[in-house]
Each structure stands twice: as structure tokens, then as C-alpha cells.
């Protein structure tokens, strides 16, 4: 018999790796991870919560984007805010599929100490597909896949130009394969926690137990393993964001691991580098959080409603295009008269500036007086000491 994929090897799941080749990289990532968490711990509750909120939002959006699905940022933010009890103002309408994705992510990260079980995975899968369909196609939800429509193939690319990365194990093997995976995941095997996160991702993708949603669930399992490695439920970096940036290599590495032997050193190397990049990007994100805290500190003397706070946050993050009264009304779902009153108050406070055009085309922007300190905080934050 010609072996094409690692799941055909009798030795599975006897994965192995070269610890000496990984030692220096692993030590660097561990240091970066611990340092980031230490810095966040020193910054206070509000900044930690705000940073975690943004990272959860980014994680949900990017994990879906890897699969070719683009989510509405406002809907994702609203879903997370509802579940965490955060007041962001102007909540967007409920979307069941987005709520399901958020429920899975929060369960994985906030309940990281709970065992990963078959029922828990079935719950995650059902949450991802609340209508029992993937797009227009009815799928088997909350249960392992079957092979009634042919073997499970992992593909990427647009319709008509799909690339088959590998073919997953037959459906009749899933109960025993998943039992072995879950037993390993829940036991203290002595494997370094970061390597365990890397291997759990690869191993779950190798089994590919569901008809759809395997990638998103694999990344949720990865976040659960990383949360265990850190011993805390707040997320300050997004692995899915970095995976999405390196998407082509992500698929290439997964495919290469499936068509090699059980030596996963190359996959571990890629995963750790990806994690390291995510942590480095989080340092920049921390600068943004500090800048936002400084920004609101300067504005705390001014009474503001939820709409004004929401729009100032948007401006601080970098508003696309020109802000006008009509855009304010559209985004906050209010009348133009109310939008004009909101804006006029902020102009009178000296928070917003306006041009001299007049009329509906009048443009508004943040006054330099309230952004200078925030910009300085963003540019000068130092995580190296």
C-alpha cells in the first residue's frame, strides 16, 4: 500500500520532534508571552478589558476570513459586548451565526480549565451552524461527519479552482481517533504547553471530524490550549490574525505535515514563529490601548452620550473617509438633527474641529489638543524593559 497521508501510518499518533532545533525559538516565544502578560497585568483592569475585547473581535473576524467568510465588524463587536456586559453604545442587530462563533470563542478561552469533550465540541459545532446549513447546503450538525457524499477532502481556493491539500480519515475511524485526541489533550502529558497548542491544531485538522467548520474549531482549540498555557481567560493577541496574514504558508505547512512522516518539527517551527509574530503585533496594539486610555482621560470632564463615545472611538481608530453629519446619523442610526446636536456639543467642548464649508458637506475631525498625548502614548510605549 502506498502511503499518501500521515493518518494512514500505523504509528499514528506517535508524533515526534527535534527538541534541540526548537529550544531557542521556544524560549524566545515563552519570554515574549510572559513579558506581554506581565505588562498587561500592570496596566489596570480597563485597559486589559479593552485590549481583550478588541483581540476577541479580531480573532472572530480573522478566523472566519481564513475560511473565505467576511463578517460585519459591528455585529461581531456587539455580540461580544452583549456577552461580556460591555457598554459600547449602538448595538447592532443579532446574527445567530455570529453569536454562535462568539459563544464558541468565549467558551474556549473563558472556560479553558474545563475538559475538552465530545459533547463540548458538538456544542461548538451546533453553535457555528444554528440553521443546520453551511450556506445553502444542509450539513450534519453536532455530530461527526459521515462519508455518504464521498471522502472528506481539505481544499482551498475559489470554486472551480480548488486545491486539494489532503484527504481526511474515513468516517468510521472518527470515534476512536477523536477519543485518542481528547484523552491526550486533557491529560498532563509533560509536553510543553506551547507545543501542545501547536500539535492540537495539527492533530485536529488531520482528523477533520466535522462536515464543515473544522478550521474555526481547530483555532478555538488552539486558543483554549494557549489560554491554559497562560492560566488566564483574557486574550491579548490574535493567532487567527497572524494566520490570516500568512494564509498561503499556513495551508502549505498543513499540507506538508499531512504528506510527510510523524516528525512535526517543521510544523512546530512555523507555528511558533506565527505565535511570536502575533505577540509582537500585540505590543503595537498595547500602544493603541494606552493611547486610548490617555485620550479618554483628557475627555473625562465632558458629559457624553453613548453615540458620542462610539463615534469618538471610531475617529480615534482611524475613520475611513470624511466624517459628516449624515454619516454620523447613518452609523448611530439616528436623525440628522440629533447627529448635528451630538456633533455641535463636541465642537463646543473643543473635542471636534470643523471646516468652513458649511451645509451637509461640512467635515469634522478630532482636535489636535485631545490627540497629541494619545499619539505620544501609541508611539512611545516600551515593552522591552
Cα pseudo-dihedral 268, 273, 274, 275, rounded to 10: 90
Cα pseudo-dihedral 330, 325, 82, 47, rounded to 10: 140
Say which residue, 16 or 291, is predicted with more confidence. 16
**What are the beta bridge partners of residue 364?**
323, 354
Say which residue, 289 or 237, is predicted with more confidence. 237
Per-residue pLDDT tens over the stretch 288-327: 767 777 788 788 889 999 899 889 988 887 788 889 999 9
Per-residue pLDDT tens over the stretch 106-123: 999 999 999 999 999 999
Per-residue pLDDT at 2:
62
Per-residue pLDDT at 3:
65
Per-residue pLDDT at 161:
82
Which percentage of the chain shows pLDDT scores above 90?
66
Per-residue pLDDT tens over the stretch 136-173: 899 999 999 999 888 898 777 777 888 787 889 999 99
**Nearest CA to 295 among 282, 312, 283?**
312
Per-residue pLDDT tens over the stretch 245-284: 999 999 999 999 998 899 999 999 999 999 999 999 998 7
Query: SS3 letters for 49-104?
Result: HHHHHHHHHHHHHHHHHHCCCCCCHHHHHHHHHHHHCCCCCCCCCCCHHHHHHHHH
Element (H, E) at 249: helix 247-258
Per-residue pLDDT at 375:
46
Question: How far apart, in Å, are the Cα atoms of 124 and each of 18, 177, 361?
Answer: 34, 19, 47
pTM: 0.78
Indicate the average pLDDT of the chain.
Answer: 89
**Nearest CA to 312 among 343, 338, 284, 281?**
343
Q: How does residue 378 score in pLDDT terms, banded at 50, 70 and 90?
A: very low
Grid coordinates of 270: 512555523
Per-residue pLDDT at 160:
80
Strands 163-167 and 352-354: unpaired
Which percentage of the chain shows pLDDT scores above 70?
93
Per-residue pLDDT tens over the stretch 330-376: 999 999 999 999 999 999 999 999 987 666 679 999 988 666 554 44
Q: How many CB atoms lie within 10 A of CB 45?
A: 7
Enumerate domains of the chain plus CATH numbers. 6-288 (1.10.3290.10), 304-380 (1.10.10.10)
Amino acid at each position: 500500500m502506498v502511503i499518501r497521508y500521515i493518518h494512514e501510518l500505523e504509528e499514528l499518533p506517535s508524533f515526534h520532534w527535534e527538541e534541540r532545533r526548537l529550544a531557542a525559538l521556544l524560549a524566545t516565544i515563552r519570554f515574549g508571552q510572559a513579558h506581554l502578560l506581565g505588562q498587561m497585568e500592570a496596566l489596570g483592569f480597563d485597559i486589559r478589558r479593552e485590549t481583550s475585547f478588541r483581540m476577541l473581535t479580531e480573532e472572530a473576524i480573522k478566523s472566519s476570513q481564513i475560511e473565505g467568510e467576511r463578517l460585519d465588524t459591528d455585529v461581531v463587536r456587539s455580540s461580544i459586548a452583549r456577552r461580556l456586559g460591555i457598554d459600547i453604545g449602538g448595538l447592532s442587530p443579532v446574527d445567530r451565526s455570529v453569536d454562535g462563533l462568539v459563544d464558541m470563542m468565549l467558551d474556549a478561552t473563558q472556560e479553558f480549565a474545563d475538559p475538552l469533550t465530545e459533547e463540548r465540541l458538538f456544542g461548538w459545532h451546533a453553535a457555528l451552524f444554528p440553521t443546520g446549513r453551511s450556506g445553502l447546503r444542509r450539513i450534519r450538525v453536532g455530530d461527526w461527519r459521515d462519508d455518504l457524499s464521498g471522502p472528506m477532502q481539505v481544499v482551498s481556493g475559489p470554486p472551480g479552482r480548488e486545491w486539494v491539500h489532503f484527504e481526511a480519515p474515513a468516517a468510521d475511524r472518527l470515534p476512536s481517533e477523536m477519543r485518542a485526541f481528547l484523552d491526550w489533550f486533557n491529560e498532563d502529558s509533560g509536553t510543553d504547553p506551547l507545543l501542545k497548542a501547536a500539535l492540537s491544531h495539527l492533530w485536529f485538522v488531520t482528523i477533520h471530524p466535522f462536515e464543515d467548520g473544522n478550521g474555526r474549531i481547530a483555532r478555538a482549540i488552539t486558543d483554549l490550549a494557549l489560554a491554559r498555557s497562560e492560566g488566564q481567560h483574557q486574550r491579548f493577541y490574535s493567532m487567527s490574525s497572524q494566520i490570516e496574514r500568512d494564509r498561503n504558508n499556513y495551508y502549505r505547512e498543513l499540507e506538508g505535515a499531512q504528506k510527510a512522516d510523524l516528525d512535526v518539527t517543521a510544523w512546530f517551527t512555523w507555528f511558533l514563529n506565527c505565535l511570536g509574530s502575533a505577540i509582537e503585533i500585540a505590543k503595537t496594539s498595547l500602544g493603541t490601548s494606552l493611547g486610548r486610555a490617555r485620550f479618554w482621560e483628557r475627555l473625562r470632564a465632558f458629559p457624553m452620550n453613548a453615540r458620542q463615545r462610539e463615534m469618538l472611538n471610531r475617529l480615534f481608530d482611524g475613520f475611513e473617509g470624511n466624517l459628516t453629519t449624515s454619516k454620523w446619523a447613518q452609523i448611530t442610526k439616528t436623525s440628522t438633527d440629533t447627529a448635528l446636536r451630538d456633533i455641535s456639543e463636541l465642537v463646543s467642548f473643543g473635542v471636534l474641529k470643523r471646516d468652513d464649508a458649511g451645509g451637509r458637506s461640512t467635515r469634522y475631525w478630532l482636535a489636535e489638543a485631545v490627540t497629541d498625548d494619545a499619539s505620544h502614548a501609541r508611539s512611545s510605549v516600551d515593552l522591552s524593559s
